Amino acid sequence: MSIADERFIQNCKDILENGFSDVCYDVRPAWADTGEKAHTIKKFCIVNRYDLTKEFPVITLRKTFFKSAVDELLWIWQKKSNNTHDLKSKIWDAWADENGSIGKAYGYQLGIKHKYKEGEFDQVDRVLYDLKHNPLSRRIMTNIYNHADLHEMNLYPCAYSMTFNVTGNRLNGILNQRSQDMLVANNWNVCQYAVLLHMFAKVSGLVAGELVHVIADAHIYDRHIPIVEELIKREPLPAPTFEIDDIDDFYKFTVDNVRLKDYNYHEFNIKIPVAE
């Protein structure tokens, strides 16, 4: 059984059996197709741990579109872009203006330079610098939830903070996420930040260790419940093998430099309704 499948099934069962329903409350999200309020069942503070030395945490209950997930990751962390014209998929189109901009969000925040005693760095370059020069530092982190710019963001960041920690030759990371749609985004984000740890470890002469995923509000939308119930009844398949090319510069990575070998998954032909 894939560890990602195991975590997903456990989380969803916990939410469905023990979660809090907001059906009696006036909520912000609405269904894109009808405009009706999109209610959820949620659990507060779910924490999942993934040991990347053992396997890559991709679910097999249905396909996670790995290359698209990596493309979005590089759009944010490598290109530091906030424009959907730099992204191959259409997943951000709903939040983009007529020019393709999502405002001062995500990649925009990572690309802002800040002054340090060693010079000026943006957040990504500062992490890469510290991993090579100050690997035992307990200050290696990023944060894109910039309150001063929230009014100019078309969507507030969901996955907003990464804390990196080197233990021996292992690079570990904690991903903090304020909110997560479990069906649509859970494994997408897990795969992305597992890849990021692998990439950062590779260019820093380290080994990807443990990814800890902290979700403040883990929820399942009401119209997603039957889909989730069907998914978690499936028998998980073995996890694939993760492959990464020997690249020494984070900015040289492309989506083709990381691969999942023997990724088998259950077919999934259900159209998932989207809440905005």
Q: pLDDT (tens digit, 9 = 90+) per residue, 22-54?
A: 999 999 999 989 999 999 999 999 999 999 999
- Residue whose C-alpha is closest to residue 74's, from 107, 52, 102, 112: 107
Question: Is residue 217 situated within a structural domain?
Answer: yes
Q: What is the pLDDT of residue 276?
A: 87
To the nearest 10 degrees (0 to 180), the angle between helices 123-133 and 182-203 is 50
User: Which among 24, 45, 158, 191 is annotated as catalytic?
Assistant: 158
Who's near 45: CB < 8 A, 6+ residues apart?
214, 215, 216
Question: Is residue 254 situated within a structural domain?
Answer: yes
Question: Is residue 250 situated within a structural domain?
Answer: yes
Q: How many CA atoms lie within 13 A of 81 on its CB side?
A: 17
Q: Which domain holds residue 193?
A: 3-63+134-261
Q: Look up residue 150 and give its two tokens.
A: 């929230």
Q: What is the pLDDT of residue 1?
A: 74
Question: Is residue 111 situated within a structural domain?
Answer: no
Question: Is residue 49 situated within a structural domain?
Answer: yes
The b/e string for 132-171 (b: 16+ C-beta within 10 A; e otherwise) is eeebeeeebbbebbbeeeeeebbeebbbbbbbbbbeeebb
Q: Look up residue 189 and give its two tokens.
A: 């984000």
Low-confidence ranges of the chain (pLDDT < 50): none
**Residue 133 known to bind ligand:** no
Name the pTM for this structure.
Answer: 0.97
The b/e string for 69-93 (b: 16+ C-beta within 10 A; e otherwise) is bbbbbbbbbbbbbbbbeebeeebbe
- What residue type is assigned to position 43 of the chain? K
Question: Is residue 102 situated within a structural domain?
Answer: no
**Residue 234 known to bind ligand:** no
Question: Is residue 88 situated within a structural domain?
Answer: no
Q: What is the pLDDT of residue 58?
A: 98
**Residue 170 known to bind ligand:** no
**191 counts as catalytic:** no
Question: Is residue 235 situated within a structural domain?
Answer: yes
**Residue 49 known to bind ligand:** no
- Distance in angstroms between the alpha carbons of the first and the last residue of the chain: 33
Task: Give one DSSP letter per residue of 143-158, joined into a string.
Answer: E---GGGGGGBSS--S
For residue 30, the 8-state DSSP code is B
Helix ranges, the chain (H): 3-18, 66-77, 107-110, 123-133, 182-203, 225-231
Q: What is the pLDDT of residue 274?
A: 87
Instruction: Compute the Cα dihedral for 139, 140, 145, 147 and give only its sign.
Output: positive
CATH no. for residue 27? Answer: 3.30.572.10
Count of structural domains within the chain: 1
Q: What is the pLDDT of residue 261?
A: 98
